[in-house]
Amino acid sequence: MKPHLLKVSLKPESSFNFYKRRGGDFYNQWHFHPEIELIYIHKGRGTRLIGTNVHRFEPGELFLFGSNLAHMWRCDPEYFETGSKLKAEVTVVYFHHDFLGDKFFNVPELKSIESLLEKAKQGIKISGETRNQVRELITRLAGAKGLERVVTLLAILDKIAASKEKDIINPLNNQLKIDQSEADRLNKIFQYTSNNFQKKITLSEIASVANLSTKSFCRYFKSKTRKTYYDFLLEVRIAHACNMILERDMPIYEVCYESGFNNLSNFNRYFKKIVNKTPFEFKKEHRLLTA
């Protein structure tokens, strides 16, 4: 298992990093880093885990993560199939809070950006027209040099800070404080769950993955994620079900069993609890939006 403190190498000629990544998948390890991260998804679909929040991700989404916010992206199974031509593509900007000096954001004119970077520790999703405007600025940032490069990044942060088109991803939680050894253990748990959620996973089984007793595992997982393991497993299964409903013309009962449920009544109940709609309502609404 690779280390999960992601070390971002800063280019000597730059005060912050700009990357465009293309491939079969994102960095799909549970990881964290001291740098603040702005990420725009050009291509790719799958399940995201940001702090304690599990949800789908789709092309066209834009996020801002604060320092040391643990997160993971995992593209759908089709991206890993032999011969698959599906590709993920993202633009990522990494920068330290003090990349312009440790007191730069303390001045009154930049108070809103300082507040934004503090809120970003809980994860922020940017939507609407703000997302479109920031996407254009990110495109400009790709070719910018010298002072224009710094000014463009500040313009991006100012645009997000002033917008109401943003949502806190973990509104009730502070950022998870985990060290590297804990991240390694959590990553084993998340990866095992991601690979096996379609079948029954017992507490003793997942506890052995974490090298803990069942009782110790339950306490450990709740303390690190602020939810029970079964709540987390349900969210992973429902996220997968949402994808199947959106991407495939399958009957709801097939989606139920393909997502790891063995009871249609329970599937409908948990789906509505997490998504606030029944699977049928979710499917009908999507068809209306794409018609």
- Cα(31)–Cα(51) distance, integer angstroms: 10
Sort 133 into a burial class: Cβ within 10 Å, 0-12 / 13-18 / 19+: middle
> Which pTM value belongs to this model?
0.70
Contact 51, 10 (CB under 8 A): no
What's the alpha-carbon Rg for the chain, to the nearest Å? Answer: 20
Pairwise CA distance, residues 46 & 24, whole Å: 12
Following DSSP, what letter does each residue of 227-267 receive, concatenated?
Answer: S-HHHHHHHHHHHHHHHHHHHS---HHHHHHHTT-S-HHHH
Q: Which residues lie across from 126 on neighbouring strands?
A: 62, 166
How is the beta sheet containing 71-75 ordered, strand by strand?
53-57, 46-50, 71-75
Domains of the chain: 17-168 (2.60.120.10), 180-290 (1.10.10.60)
User: Which are the contacts of 98, defined by CB distance < 8 A and separation ≥ 6?
Assistant: 104
Digit-coded pLDDT (tens) for 260-283: 999 999 999 999 988 888 999 888
Of the two residues 68 and 166, the one the predictor is more confident about is: 166
Reported as a single tens digit per residue, the pLDDT across 74-101 is 887 788 888 888 899 999 999 999 999 9
